[in-house]
Structure 1
């Protein structure tokens, strides 16, 4: 980014609207001197503009390549592509600006060999139109297509219907979702290192870690159901839950992910913690994964006064409250807790047996009304 700071306060004030107004007043019989005084414009400038029939494009040898309309249309095109998940990179924006100038036969200073605008021009263009260079999230085609007005409206229609029918209040409305916990976190906290050093390392347990699934559930009033852990193994071991949050549930599966049988077990855990009944029902909002749709789960929910409301397919990244407001801070706190454990236990690796204890540190920090 250039460190240049503009020293002059001069700016272009003679616009097409002013030129049009000057011509109209002169046609009505006003003198050029009186028009210049009324508009606070030097008379020599006014005469010069009337003789040339144009307005100034610049204050010196530099000038705007695009008209205001073309400049704004290019910015609007950038926003349009971003909304549709096809945002432009810095290089693509530079090439598009070059193509636009060439197509309109404009006099420009862009690089004709590389056929692109300069880095400085792109940065100034972005600054003018409040555009910033952001790191995008990977969004699958299914998610991009699934999150649409029809699907979202259908969900809220269903939500309104069940709230009206059962009279749910905040303490009875729960969000439930799963997230993966890695024994080797994907992101590490930043550390201080010598300036100019090319590679900065940080000790982790292994090159690739194991994934343990954590099942979290919270109500709209801020109360939490004790989490459940799904370990990728055949048999349960009490040691896996050492240091876990109180009343946490241990589950195991071959893959380490939720399945229909485990979801039934989790529902029983929910009934034990939240104590819903037909006289005091509860609403659980969850994604439409096949493991949540078994007949056993639906029957158990009906028997205990639980209403299951599914989010539309491929929309949980925007509509699931746990995804949008809870798992992000939780993952960050978990990565920090993993790093602290690694520093305190030099030479030891994080395995499945440490995940629950480390998760508890992060969970207790994030799962609070204050946070």
Structure 2
């Protein structure tokens, strides 16, 4: 009999650890990942329930750091990461029935009007401010806090509307200034042929192809490939402006020129083409997203919020614009499609017995809002 190697003795078999790994991935795909403390608590509870000999801390009811580091070394596909905030409404909105409805409507328009890539546009607005966000900088290690100048502590947003086509054509930006009267000086150094107004303005002779609410992070080309590079380029231009104009602050009259420099850098053909491709709009691909992409929606099981608007018709030059609106016809079809079952994720693909997977789910349940609501109603 070989002597045990202290902390290097594995508490769980490879089979048990694989079930833990699958559970971690499943929760992460549902936008509800485990924290480190939760994982160590789950490992302790599993060992206790399965009556597996262990050296975990019984007072804290948690596995220790040695188990954690050894586990992470054996499973390099898992790492401790800082999550990005994802709103509940985005998790609810991006579900299979809603996405299928979007592609159904898009397919009908494409078949009816035979749109070429030059007539497929996506428009979206963003806010730019006189108070920009800083990029990472070089500074001495000995300094505990690194400062960098901005124009003010707080600034107001100027809305900029961007529009690009599936073949890489960008329409000059449209500026909306939060003020009662327009001043021509506000458009100094603006991109050529761009327009600035002091109030919103409508669009004519355009087919508005609407996307479901809270799905732009997946279905809007500008959100997927343009907005982040533009914001980064804009902040860089603001940093450069502050350095060149020492002692001055950025005002509303400088915004248009800063947007122009950032727009020139980012408005590239490859960015536009990639945006339409990765959303499945052009080339048309309704099967772009897999069941894995819809797991956050399965977590809530809450019907998505509907917004009612009217769609515009056109008789002359035909074009289609993907925007963040929804029509009455889509609402009716959406209500019917919401009754369809949403595809759930497959069970962990391991050789472990089903009862082991069930025990893991009992110790660390998969989030399900519908089940929680039904339990609370029974208690009432």
Give TM-score, length-normalised by structure 2.
0.66
Q: Quick one: distance in 1 between partners of 2:216 and 2:63?
A: 39
* Corresponding position of 1:244: 190
Of residues 309, 313, 318 in structure 1, which corresponds to 2:218?
318
Q: Distance in 1 between matches of 2:244 and 2:168?
A: 33
The structure with more radius of gyration: 1
Any conservation in 2 of the 1:58–1:64 contact (CA below 8 Å)? no
Aligned to 2:82: 135
Could you tell me how far 1:223 is from its partner in structure 2?
0.3
Contact 1:206 1:349 in 2 (8 A): yes
Which residue does the alignment assign to 2:143? 197
Determine which of 37, 54, 62 is the counterpart of 2:8: 62
Q: What corresponds to 2:93 in structure 1?
A: 146
- How many residue pairs align between the two structures? 270
Q: Shift of the alpha carbon at 1:115?
A: 3.2
1:364 Cα deviation (Å)? 0.5
> Is there any run of 5+ residues in structure 1 with no aligned partner, and where?
1-47, 49-55, 254-261, 268-299
Q: CA deviation at 1:351?
A: 1.7
Note closer, same or farther for the CA distance 1:81–1:359 as it changes in structure 2 (3 Å cut): same
Q: What do the CA deviations read for 1:83-130 (whole angstroms, capped 9, x no partner)? A: 221112223222222222233222233334433334454354345150
Give yes or no for the alignment of 1:71 onto 2:41: no
Q: Which has the higher contact order (CA 8 A, sep 6+)?
A: 2
Matches within 5 A, 1:254-293: 262-264=200-202, 267=203
Secondary structure in 2 aligned to 1:174?
strand
User: In the superposition, relative to structure 1, how do residues 360 and 68 fare at CA in structure 2: closer, same or farther (>3 Å)?
Assistant: same
CA contact (8 A) 2:168 2:270 kept: no
SS for the counterpart of 1:329 is: helix
Q: Which runs of 5+ in 2 are unaligned?
A: 272-380
Match of 1:108 among 38, 49, 54: 54
Equivalent pair of 1:183/1:355 in contact (CA under 8 Å): yes
> CA shift at 1:60, angstroms?
7.1
Question: What SS is found at the alignment partner of 1:232?
Answer: coil
CA distance in 2, matches of 1:57, 1:324: 56
Report Cα offsets for 1:206-243 as digits up to 9, x if no partner: 11222111100000000001111111111111111111
TM-score scaled by structure 1? 0.68
The structure-2 alpha-carbon separation of the partners of 1:136 and 1:345, relative to structure 1 and needing over 3 Å to count, comes to same
Q: Does 1:183 align with 2:130?
A: yes
